[in-house]
Amino acid sequence: MTDQSAVDIEQIRDYSRAFNADRANLVAANAAVSTGVLAAATDYQGLRALPRDFSVELKQGSITNQERSGRCWMFASLNTLRYELMHRWNLEDFEFSETYLFFWDAIEKSNTYLEHVLETLDEPTDSRIFEVINDGPSDDGGWWQMFAALVNKYGLVPKSAYPESANSRDSDSFKQYLNTKLREFAADLRRRHEAGEALDALREAKREDMATVYRICAIALGEPPAAFDFLARVKDDDDDKDGESDKAGKAEQSKQESGMDERRQIRETGITPMEFYRKYVPVDVNDFVTISNAPMKRTPFNTRYRIRYTANVIEAGDMEFVNVPLDVFKKAAVDQLRAGHPIWFACDCMQFALRGEGVFDRDTVRVDQLFGTEFTFDKADGLEYGDRPSNHAMTLTGVNLDDNGKPNRWKIENSWGKDNGKDGYYVASDAWFDQFVTEIIIRKDMLDEATLKLAQAEPVELDPWQPLTRPCR
């Protein structure tokens, strides 16, 4: 008797005969097997339809590189802030220390994990909520609000004050053993609870556990600075602003003759990370709202959501999002770029993407033509079925507007180094933006009154497994 649930051998023969009878299949197979799916699916007409010029474009600093780590959300956040700092202080280039926040994020995530363990001591280890808590206690991923929580608590430092290390560039081994140790601590706390120890005793044990966490982080990354010296040189661009072009020309000639860099200096000695943030960063990380576009029935628009168990800094609270329709979402993005401010955003960077060419576009990555089948998921079904959750954060630094003021392509600053994309920058079609961009961080003064009011509304709580968003890496 034939098992109706099994793949039938005769069916396989039929499939093979049909496959080989179609010349297009053979051509596609030759291309895909030889060059890979994405190369075989690349449409040159699609590439040509996405030029690299933009009617609205922000001038950014050097391209950054997160290397083999899941720190994209930090890089995108710091790239957003460094633009503001560079233009406020007229600097040619600048980079914050990503490793500084990476250190404190590991500390805070470890503390939050152990706090969540204490909150769920009576939960079975195979319960859904404990499985979420226990899944990668100190993993790299995150969101803008995690970044804001760290900055609010620890401030910021320039990269020169706390440079990269081997374990920030490639974080797998560091985080593997930190996670193992944290889970050992969790098992110990739960065993002590079963043996009848009081919560005060468990908290004292947790305090001792955190000393070990600090030691692991300090050995892997080096201790972060409590204070540092800072020196930056201001660009010469302002020399002619007062109509003193002749004087500026003579000064430049003098500099060339002497060999001295005589540009004006910004200099600080013994400044703390919090002092540096408050003095030199001209924006407040709390003056932003995360708006999302998740058109699922379970997450109606014009609602504020909070996702349980998503904090990194325990006292800062869980991640919150205001879910809005696409037209509101896109207008906020265009308005902020036109006002001269970059935008942190989260997306599914794997969909219809060419990493080497730096393109996000369905009309360029024609896997439908290659495989002879349509890919019909819309944004709602893609989120509902876990096919396109956010997994990467980048920075919008430009947009091209058509004659009617509508966007048709977007300029993206990535954190994968200058050898990916075109000198580190990507271009996304507007249709791709609509389908795969799920979150943007918008300044409060760029939001319409209705959306700003929603940001103050009582949030609807979601469980961490509900498909609204995922940490970006």
pLDDT at site 258: 72
pLDDT at site 466: 87
Three-state DSSP at 411 gives strand
**pLDDT tens for each residue of the chain, 473 residues long:** 668 899 999 999 999 999 999 999 999 999 999 999 999 999 999 999 999 999 999 999 999 999 999 999 999 999 999 999 999 999 999 999 999 999 999 999 999 999 999 999 999 999 999 999 999 999 999 999 999 999 999 999 999 999 999 999 999 999 999 999 999 999 999 999 999 999 999 999 999 999 999 999 999 999 999 999 999 999 986 544 444 445 555 555 555 567 898 999 999 999 999 999 999 999 999 999 999 999 999 999 999 999 999 999 999 999 999 999 999 999 999 999 999 999 999 999 999 999 999 999 999 999 999 999 999 999 999 999 999 999 999 999 999 999 999 999 999 999 999 999 999 999 999 999 999 999 999 999 999 999 999 999 999 999 999 877 889 99
Check if the beta carbon of residue 34 is closer than 8 Å to that of residue 346. Answer: no
CA distance 438 to 451: 16
Check if the beta carbon of residue 438 is closer than 8 Å to that of residue 470. Answer: no
> Which residue in 462, 323, 468, 413 sits closest to 76, CA to CA?
413
Q: Tell me the three-class secondary structure of 293-318, residue by residue.
A: CCCCCCCCCCEEEEECCCCCCHHHCC
Q: Which phi-psi region, left, alpha or beta, contains residue 29 (left: φ > 0; alpha: ψ -120 to 50)?
A: alpha
pLDDT at site 243: 46
CA distance 295 to 465: 17
Q: Give the containing element (helix H, strand E) for 184.
A: helix 172-194
List, as one string, the DSSP characters of 266-279.
EEEEEE-HHHHHHH
pLDDT at site 255: 55
CA distance 446 to 267: 33
Residue type at 85 in one-letter notation: L
- Active centre residues (catalytic): 72, 392, 414
Three-state DSSP at 198 gives coil
CA distance 101 to 75: 10
Phi and psi, residue 98, nearest 5°: -75, -30
pLDDT at site 340: 98
Match 């940490």 to its residue by tokens.
Answer: 471
449 burial type by CB count under 10 A (0-12 exposed, 13-18 middle, 19+ buried): exposed
Domain boundaries, the chain: 47-66+282-462, 235-269
pLDDT at site 239: 46
pLDDT at site 256: 58
- Tokens representing 455 are 């940001």
314 burial type by CB count under 10 A (0-12 exposed, 13-18 middle, 19+ buried): middle
> Which residue in 327, 301, 355 sits closest to 434, CA to CA?
327
Check if the beta carbon of residue 72 is closer than 8 Å to that of residue 139. Answer: no
For 47-66+282-462, CATH number out of 3.90.1150.10, 3.40.350.10, 3.90.70.10, 2.40.30.30 equals: 3.90.70.10
pLDDT at site 246: 52
pLDDT at site 254: 54
